[in-house]
Structure 1
Amino acid sequence: WAGLGYYARARNLLKCSRAVVERHDGVFPDTEDALRALPGIGAYTAAAVAAIAFGRRAVVVDGNVERVMARLFAVQDPLPGAKPALTVLADALTPAERCGDYAQAVMDLGATLCSPRNPACGLCPWMRGCQGRRQGIAAELPRKTPKGEKPVRYGVAFWTVRWDGAVLLRKRPPSGLLGGMIEVPSTPWRDSPWTLEEARKLGPFHLDWHAVGGVVRHTFTHFHLELSVLAGVARGGSVPAGRWVAPEAFGAEALPTVMRKVARHAAKNPTTVG
């Protein structure tokens, strides 16, 4: 599950539960605005819960609904810029009664018949009124703004080995990318490569750091990451924030994929303890 956002969801679930107890005396709120105010609940979730769980009139818009609206009304403006217009169209069709059933039906329509590729227009209950089908462009919609080149960011990971072969790991800050997960101590990630001299100053110990050949590469949603690895042996002194873990026990740790790549890279170039 590492790297899929489940750890952040679990933390938000706890925060949300506490907020319901503290702000609402343990009774889950049933309005869209009150739901939006809870930790970890965004616009889509608030609308979906309000409509489906509590029967409130709320405009539920996910990717499936956006696709259905774009095709039904032949909206050719690309996403994400077209999102507000698609929400207005979804609002115009949302009924006052049985709003939750309607929302679920449109989401299911987008997930099954009005699929991203090869939509089954002949089976669609809205076939006759679909402007996208009438114009012969349904399968092309919704259009999306072309993505630019992902930038490259750089960092240095410190593979710190103790006398018994255990490796230093630490917990990342609770918020931000990979929040709350376990990592090999690393520099911040930035837009320019680190020099060896710069990186050594940020190591968890003052050691005789040596560069491990090669680079660890990983791609996130919005950028590529290149991590150099410095290895060193800790022979004593105070332990910085973190804990020592034997490499064979890494499987039980919440290590994201990029840090498992670091571990595999370091294993190919073992650091001698002696």
Structure 2
Amino acid sequence: MNSTLATDLLPWFDRHGRHDLPWQATTPDGQRASYRVWLSEVMLQQTQVATVIPYFLRFTEALPTLPDLAAADEDRVLALWSGLGYYRRARFLHRAAQLCVERHGGELPRDFEALAALPGIGRSTAGAILAQAHGLRFAILDGNVKRVLTRYHGIEGHPGQGAVEKQLWERAEAHTPHQRVADYTQAIMDLGATVCVRTRPLCLACPLTGTCVARREGRTAQLPTPKPGKTLPSRSTTMLVLRDTRDRVLLERRGPDGVWSGLWSLPEAADHEAAWRQAQAHAHLDDARPLPPFVHVFSHYRLAVEPLLFDGATAHPAIADNARLRWYARDEWPTLGLPAPVRTLLETLHPPLASHTSHSR
């Protein structure tokens, strides 16, 4: 395969690419720090650059090196990640850092197989780390690159299908140049993120417009082929907001399975009656009022949430001995790994009145 794509793309990148992203800072030897590249690649999975930048800056300020990340406790890592979603990424990141300390001298390995074997990395992320941090010739295939290559070559079929993805990997490998690999890797990601976007691509500004099959055949709106649609199922839950007179809220650490696994969240019940029974098992109380309901959309279902506020609760003594249930004060919430909608809900709570007025059930 000829190198038209890379030849046309690199001059565009020099003029129009993104060169000042925080993870692009170089070390004294002129290379990018592999830890920062890795962190950015994991954060950017299914998340846009503009959203990632403040999280990246906060994360690297708190945990500036890989050994710092490895030594941090999980709650701190999840608290720094809170709001980015897909929390499994954070747990994999944490575990991979610990494995690097145990097996690789506190650094990400430069061997592709060893790097790709770490939790949460895989083929494309490993390639991005080695290409951008060390200039090694490895291809990448994230969502932006899939879109560019699908349109450039006019490839039919959903990119997530095995046969289509295999074709895309072959194209990605062939197009990756032998020089300026780091720049090329950033360039093709930038092109997908800023020009060859999902809807209404800016073809007139694209350096590949003269050789792009989808542009030539008028198929940019049809490619990539969409994933077969399906209706998201809906679920509902009642979240218990138990708050005591010291403005502490009862939080529960979720189990290892399911959504928000390992995060601190609010206790849940199937409905208001079950919520009352569960709340009374946790605390003495005589007041409850509904808070505004909301819907949170996961990748595989929609969750309708009805929060129920129990104010002026008094904890049962047994709660103190329960590691999964704890009362947390308002100033402690930022230090916890909380799901974004739960954090938002808690932040909307006003401090309780000094004189609490009870209402009957």
For the superposition of Structure 1 and Structure 2, which TM-score range results when normalised by the shorter chain? 0.7 to 0.9
Take 2:281 and 2:305, find their aligned partners in 1: how far apart are those partners?
16
Q: What displacement does 1:64 show?
A: 1.7
Take 1:7 and 1:142, find their aligned partners in 2: how far apart are those partners?
28
Q: Which amino acid aligns with 2:198?
A: P
Q: C-alpha root-mean-square deviation of aligned residues, in Å?
A: 3.8
**264 and 56 in structure 1: CA distance in 2 versus 1, 3 angstrom threshold:** closer
Q: Which runs of 5+ in 1 are unaligned?
A: 188-192
The C-alpha deviation readout for 1:82-135, integer Å capped at 9, x for no partner, is 433322322232345554443233223323433334434344343332211221
Question: Is the counterpart of residue 25 in structure 1 residue 108 in structure 2?
Answer: no
- Greater Cα shift, 167-176 or 75-84: 167-176
**154 and 106 in structure 1: CA distance in 2 versus 1, 3 angstrom threshold:** same
Question: Is the counterpart of residue 157 in structure 1 residue 264 in structure 2?
Answer: no
Q: What displacement does 1:175 show?
A: 6.7
Match in the other structure for 2:96 = 16
Match in the other structure for 1:135 = 217
Question: Is the counterpart of residue 245 in structure 1 residue 328 in structure 2?
Answer: yes
The C-alpha deviation readout for 1:203-255, integer Å capped at 9, x for no partner, is 75275687644744322232211234455533543223333234576566554
Q: 2:242 is paired with a residue of what secondary structure?
A: strand
1:196 to 267, 273, 278: 273
- Greater Cα shift, 198-207 or 176-185: 198-207
**116 and 226 in structure 1: CA distance in 2 versus 1, 3 angstrom threshold:** closer
**71 and 42 in structure 1: CA distance in 2 versus 1, 3 angstrom threshold:** same
The C-alpha deviation readout for 1:143-199, integer Å capped at 9, x for no partner, is 312432211123232222335443212333467533443322225xxxxx5573487
**269 and 17 in structure 1: CA distance in 2 versus 1, 3 angstrom threshold:** closer
The C-alpha deviation readout for 1:19-67, integer Å capped at 9, x for no partner, is 1222123343112221112233233211111222233332201122111
Q: Which runs of 5+ in 2 are unaligned?
A: 1-54, 56-81
Contact 1:73 1:131 in 2 (8 A): yes
- Greater Cα shift, 110-119 or 243-252: 243-252
Match in the other structure for 1:226 = 304
Match in the other structure for 2:174 = 92
Q: Which amino acid aligns with 1:224?
A: R
**202 and 6 in structure 1: CA distance in 2 versus 1, 3 angstrom threshold:** same
Take 2:308 and 2:175, find their aligned partners in 1: how far apart are those partners?
58
1:257 to 321, 335, 340: 340
Take 1:254 and 1:25, find their aligned partners in 2: how far apart are those partners?
28
Take 1:92 and 1:62, find their aligned partners in 2: how far apart are those partners?
16
**202 and 226 in structure 1: CA distance in 2 versus 1, 3 angstrom threshold:** same
Aligned length in residues: 269
Contact 1:78 1:144 in 2 (8 A): yes
Contact 1:57 1:96 in 2 (8 A): yes
Q: What displacement does 1:261 show?
A: 5.4
Q: TM-score scaled to structure 2, two decimals?
A: 0.60
Contact 2:268 2:275 in 1 (8 A): no
**127 and 207 in structure 1: CA distance in 2 versus 1, 3 angstrom threshold:** same
- Greater Cα shift, 81-90 or 229-238: 229-238
Q: 2:268 is paired with a residue of what secondary structure?
A: coil
Take 2:279 and 2:243, find their aligned partners in 1: how far apart are those partners?
16
Question: Is the counterpart of residue 45 in structure 1 residue 125 in structure 2?
Answer: yes
**48 and 265 in structure 1: CA distance in 2 versus 1, 3 angstrom threshold:** closer
Take 2:186 and 2:154, find their aligned partners in 1: how far apart are those partners?
22
Take 2:275 and 2:251, find their aligned partners in 1: how far apart are those partners?
21
1:145 to 208, 227, 230: 227
Q: What displacement does 1:69 show?
A: 0.8
Larger helix fraction of residues = 2
Match in the other structure for 2:35 = none
